[in-house]
A = this chain, B = another copy of it.
Amino acid sequence: MTEAQLQTHEWRQRLLATHGRLRQRAPLVHCLTNQVTVNFVANVLLAAGASPAMTDHPDEVEGLAATADALLINLGTPSADSVAAMQRASQAANRSGTPWVLDPVGAAALPLRRDVSLELMTSRPAVIRGNASEIMSLTEAGAHGRGVDTQHESQDALTAAADLLAQAEGIAISGRVDRLLGRSTTDTGPLTISLAGGSAWQPRATGTGCALGALIAAYLAVADTPLDAMICAHAHAAAAAERAELTAHGPGSFAVIWLDALDSVDLTDFLSDRLALD
């Protein structure tokens, strides 16, 4: 076994142990998320082994964000009240050291969300995750989308993601191939992981993208690094999606069986076969 192989083997073992810790510790994940998928995201967290708390009352979020094991902020359906809650929650998380994930849903198409996202980023999210258009929209060059779906492939956003590593420890770009970027400890540029897999049914069921943000938050509570958290979350979602696809008859049954699979899936095979360590 070469040193590189050995490191890879050890990394996989560490990721599997991280997955085990999620189920064992059931971290409390505070979610400020959107009204469309809030039920589904809560069920995703419960199925994966975490404990969700979904309040967005401005007077409740500071206390909860400070004491929760992780925080998710998802911009899918902002309101004046929920944006105020997001600001207070992200600041409380930053003060208390609660790791948090920013999911700038729709930021590529809707300027209000881009502005809110940029402001929230001053509270130092551990991870920013989105599709390629959303990630690109957060850099100066920007990008324009339509609705909440991406107009770009994940690799188009690699430069933008590398720039954003100045403001977050990890960037996750979801797409046909997911790209996960973490800071290198050796200053040789970002560590980039490519992860191919999942199911074509995922974009046909609302909330599967939002679920990735929630899963990253859950894993941040038990992982050694933000990169580990992103890999575990994306591998967990993709492995479960591949299993669900085997018996799903359409987008409705896919979403249901995906929840079943999030509960029971074993990540060993997936991490052995699919994880490309660049």
Contacts and interface: CB of A to CB of B under 8 A. Distances in A.
Interface residues of A, number: 61
A39 B206 contact: yes
A206 B253 contact: no
A7 B184 CA distance: 69
B252 A43 contact: yes
Nearest to A257: B252
A53 B77 CA distance: 10
Interface string A47-75: 10001111111011001100110000000
Nearest to A259: B252
Given A51-B147, A257-B249, A263 B57 contact: no
A250 interface: yes
Contacts of A252: 43, 47, 255-260, 263
A251 interface: yes
Given A53-B106, A64-B110, A250-B262, 19 more contacts: A28-B147, A34-B54, A36-B38, A46-B206, A47-B251, A53-B148, A55-B78, A56-B77, A57-B78, A63-B110, A67-B146, A68-B147, A248-B260, A250-B263, A251-B259, A252-B257, A252-B263, A253-B260, A256-B256
15 contacts: A36-B42, A36-B54, A37-B39, A42-B206, A47-B250, A54-B77, A55-B77, A64-B147, A204-B263, A249-B257, A249-B264, A250-B257, A251-B259, A252-B255, A252-B256
